[in-house]
Amino acid sequence: MQAINRVSKRLRKKIALYIAKVLLHLDLNDVELLDDKVLVNEPRAALLVKVGGSSKDAYVLHIEIRNENQAELPWQMLRNRAEFVTTYPGLPIQQCVLYIGNSPLNMPSEIEEDYLLYRFQIVDLHAQVADELLALGSPQSSVLAILGDFHGLPANLMIRRILMQLSKLLSTDPDAFNDCMAILDVLADIRQLQNVFREEATLLRTGTPLDVSPDLALSE
């Protein structure tokens, strides 16, 4: 899996902003990347940012993307929170896990034991239809459609739709288009669809006519 923390800081900030605004519905325009070495597990699909700059409303936002159910996840998230509390004293902490696995979500989002109550947010992207994200009509939502539920649509067709929409939305901004393609490459890898994405991206860049009809995709 290609690690998010291996792409440029600029692109990591964009990924964090896209997720925060589109999937978490947070009202923000900028974030500050924090050192992900503080994370207790390998930060291959994690983002750690500070929201709000130096304002009194500043807080730490921790995002994890998981593609399988893990019974130990709540304890991993709690260990991370303990590290954040000591590393960034005084800052509130918001933690969220985006679940994109093929199996139904069955991980708890809390720990409740004697003298211990801990909760974090889990967003089950099975409930987020990819076509609905595309229908929002922004480059950000179009990129994140690759993490949504394809509702039985073949992966190549959904990715083709995403790429064609991005090429139209950003036809006059090649730099923004290239950024979106780089982000899609990372997210496709996390979704275990990188080979499919790269094949469709090659077709788009070589000018091969693309058909997005479901009947065609089902016959391929």
pLDDT tens series, the chain, 220 aa = 457 877 899 999 999 999 999 999 999 989 999 988 899 876 678 999 999 988 889 999 999 999 899 999 999 999 999 999 999 999 999 999 999 998 999 999 999 999 999 999 999 999 999 999 999 999 999 999 999 999 889 999 999 999 999 999 999 999 999 999 999 999 999 999 999 999 999 998 887 655 555 544 333 3
Which of 100, 127, 154 is where one domain is finished?
127
Q: Both 138 and 123 in a single domain?
A: no
Judge whether 212 lies within some domain.
no
pLDDT of residue 2: 55
Judge whether 218 lies within some domain.
no
pLDDT of residue 210: 57
Judge whether 201 lies within some domain.
yes
Q: Both 102 and 24 in a single domain?
A: yes
Judge whether 219 lies within some domain.
no
Q: Both 112 and 65 in a single domain?
A: yes
Domain count, the chain: 2
Q: Both 96 and 111 in a single domain?
A: yes
Q: Both 145 and 159 in a single domain?
A: yes
Which of 127, 143, 160 is where one domain is finished?
127
Q: Both 36 and 121 in a single domain?
A: yes
Dihedral sign from CA coordinates of 139, 103, 3, 23: positive
Q: Both 106 and 171 in a single domain?
A: no
Q: Both 10 and 91 in a single domain?
A: yes
Range of the domain at 147: 130-207
Judge whether 48 lies within some domain.
yes
Q: Both 82 and 165 in a single domain?
A: no
Burial 166-175 (b: 16+ CB within 10 A, else e): beebbeeeee
Judge whether 220 lies within some domain.
no
Judge whether 215 lies within some domain.
no
pLDDT of residue 160: 95
Verdict on whether the full-model pTM lies above 0.85: yes
Which among 64, 97, 67, 95 is positioned nearest to 81, based on CA atoms? 95
Please name the amino acid found at residue 217.
A
Judge whether 188 lies within some domain.
yes
Q: Both 116 and 134 in a single domain?
A: no
Q: Both 95 and 26 in a single domain?
A: yes
Partnered with residue 49 across adjacent β-strands are 33, 61
Side-chain half-sphere exposure of 203, counting CA atoms within 13 A: 18
Residue 105 contacts residue 122 (beta carbons within 8 Å): yes
Which of 88, 105, 127 is where one domain is finished?
127
Q: Both 67 and 150 in a single domain?
A: no
pLDDT of residue 212: 53
